[in-house]
Amino acid sequence: MERLSPATLAKLVPSVARPAGARPAGPRIVHLGLGAFARAHLAVYTQEANAKAGTAWQIVGVSLQRPDMREALKPQAGLYTLVTRAPEGPIFEILDVVTDVLVAPENPAAVVDILADAATRIVTLTVTEKGYCHLPSTGRLNLEHPDIGHDLAHPDAPRSAPGFLVAGLAKRRALGLPPFTLLSCDNLPSNGRVLRGLVLEFAAKVDPALGAWIESEAAFPCCMVDRIVPATTPADIAETAAAIGLQDASPVIGEPFRQWAIEDHFVSGRPAWEMAGAEMVTEVAPYEFMKLRMLNGAHSSLAYLGYLAGHETVAEATADPLIAAFLERLWAEIIPTVPAPPGVDLAIYARRLLERFRNPAIRHRTWQIAMDGSQKLPQRLLGTLRWRLERGLPSPALTLGIAGWMRYASGQDERGRPIDIRDPLAARFAEISSAAKGDAAALARGFLGLEAVFGTDLSARDDLHSAFAGELHALLSRGARQTLAHFPNRPPNAGAGIQRSDA
């Protein structure tokens, strides 16, 4: 079968939607961390905005680590298939808005050059939480991060996202060009402000005048991104080829739902993303709280408990009535902590989430979501827990979700098999787990002691320690399903303080 490319587009199965008109060659977005999510979100909005507004914004992707994406997309000149999986069946369409992919470690100078090119107007990022090289509990640059150490010593040949951004901005300033807009599209609260803090902190260390210039001239809008995009599997690749009639090495899979709320603060223009359904808003925080706490908080909790209970995917886990009942309880604890965005009913949002999680056409692995828990927990679950603790409200479902993470991170599943833990703190988890020797209180003490995750405030709380120890004891002795089966039927607001689910 022939490969998807501009030359073979005419051979596509006729029902497959394809781009109309010339390849976009106008103003440029450079995207750091071009993975499946950005190709199913940012790229879709940009492609659609171009079509509706008659513009030609193009996206050049940068891979900060591996060459895989370039290897897959280069022979296709950046073309790929978006597979939208609704329960009723998939829709296939071809996108052409990604025009090139650079691999940073192969040629960091080429990345700095394109960042400093006059046609580059916006730099977007999906580098995942750990790609910011910050301390999740404080939001500050992690000066002990090896890439940050390297980049501060070699600012012209960076490795990290902050290092590249500052190098690109420094070169623009030297060339007399205005800065670009920096748009973080990662699942971090106040993502734009966090990015701004990190870039300014980094720049000030390189050259205080550069820091001041970035501070006064650049823009770092916050945004909330949402679309469930599971990793592409070999089965997806085979199904795509059969459906479109051409070989695509890297299709992306997305659910039908997508949402993007963006603070409208750009220094050198932007695509008309609102024409593709993006919400340009003055304040993103309510959207972020809603999405990070309700969607991602539920996702992480069900990923850990679901994995332990033997569920491979989110759809399987949510089809388990015990997990579905747990999610209802969890959302009941989260909703009071979320300021509803204008016109949004959070109870309806929660119902919609359950439907999205249940979509059987999306095979989103619990193991995939379980990755990088140390970087995700603070914004997904711990902010919510803090909010409730400050008000003396009990949080049994949140406590069980977090204990599920500790149980998972201890590294063995319920049948004694090793879990493939992917996390920057994996080595610490292994130390904690081997020192605890299966003792719930010791495990709770070890994990809660991770100040980079829990902050000094939560780490120091004895009541939290005993609550987590209680849940861990239940999870270790009964397993996740039985623990969920014993999860209490009391309303989440009964009584004050932390309660154990088997108390």
Residue 146: exposure state from Cβ atoms within 10 A (0-12, 13-18, ≥19) = exposed
**In the range 271-330, which residues lie near ligand CS2 by CB under 6 A?**
295-296, 299
CB of 361 to ligand CS2, least distance (A): 15
Compose the 26-65 pattern: x for residues touching ligand CS2 by CB under 6 A, - for all others.
----------------------------------------
226 binds ligand CS2 (CB under 6 A): yes
Where on the phi/psi map is residue 122: left (φ > 0), alpha (ψ -120 to 50), or beta? Answer: beta
What single-letter amino acid sits at 218? A
CB of 314 to ligand CS2, least distance (A): 8
Site string for ligand CS2, 372-411 (x = CB under 6 A): ----x-----------------------------------
Cβ-in-10-Å burial (0-12, 13-18, 19+) of 82 comes to buried
Q: Which is nearer to ligand CS2, 151 or 186 (CB)?
A: 186
* HSE-CB for 261 with a 13 A CA cutoff: 19
369 binds ligand CS2 (CB under 6 A): yes
Closest distance to ligand CS2 from the beta carbon of 41 (Å): 8
Query: Which amino acid is it at 22?
Result: A
Least separation, in Å, of the C-beta of 295 and ligand CS2? 6
**356 lies in the site for ligand CS2, by CB under 6 A:** no
Note whether 363 binds ligand CS2 by CB under 6 A.
no
Determine the longest span between alpha carbons in the chain, in angstroms.
67
Nearer to ligand CS2, 103 or 302 (CB): 302
187 is an interface residue for ligand CS2 by CB under 6 A: yes
* Residue 228 binding ligand CS2, by CB under 6 A: yes
Query: Which residue, 167 or 402, is less far from ligand CS2 as judged by CB?
Result: 402
Q: How far is the CB of 62 from ligand CS2 (least distance, A)?
A: 20
Stretch that binds ligand CS2, among 44-52, 104-112, 226-234, 266-274 (CB under 6 A): 226-234
Q: Least separation, in Å, of the C-beta of 129 and ligand CS2?
A: 9
Binding of residue 70 to ligand CS2 (CB under 6 A): no
Between CA 55 and CA 364 the distance in angstroms is: 34
Q: Which amino acid is at 100?
A: D
Q: How far is the CB of 223 from ligand CS2 (least distance, A)?
A: 12
Distance CA 16, CA 360 (A): 23
Nearer to ligand CS2, 47 or 301 (CB): 301
Q: How many CB atoms lie within 10 A of CB 20?
A: 7
Name which of 176, 186, 147 is nearest 163 in CA terms. Answer: 147
Here the tokens at position 128 are: 């995942």
**Residue 86, phi then psi, degrees to nearest 5:** -95, 160
| Count of residues interacting with ligand CS2 (CB under 6 A) | 10
**Any contact of residue 184 with ligand CS2 (CB under 6 A)?**
no
Q: Which amino acid is at 198?
A: L
Taking the C-alpha atoms of residue 48 and residue 332, their distance in angstroms, rounded to an integer, is 36
Q: How far is the CB of 478 from ligand CS2 (least distance, A)?
A: 26
Closer CB to ligand CS2, residue 172 or residue 227? 227
3-state SS record for 253-319: EECCCCEEEEECCCCCCCCCHHHHCCEEECCCHHHHHHHHHHHHHHHHHHHHHHHHCCCCEHHHHHH
Binding residues for ligand CS2 (CB under 6 A): 187, 226-228, 295-296, 299, 368-369, 376
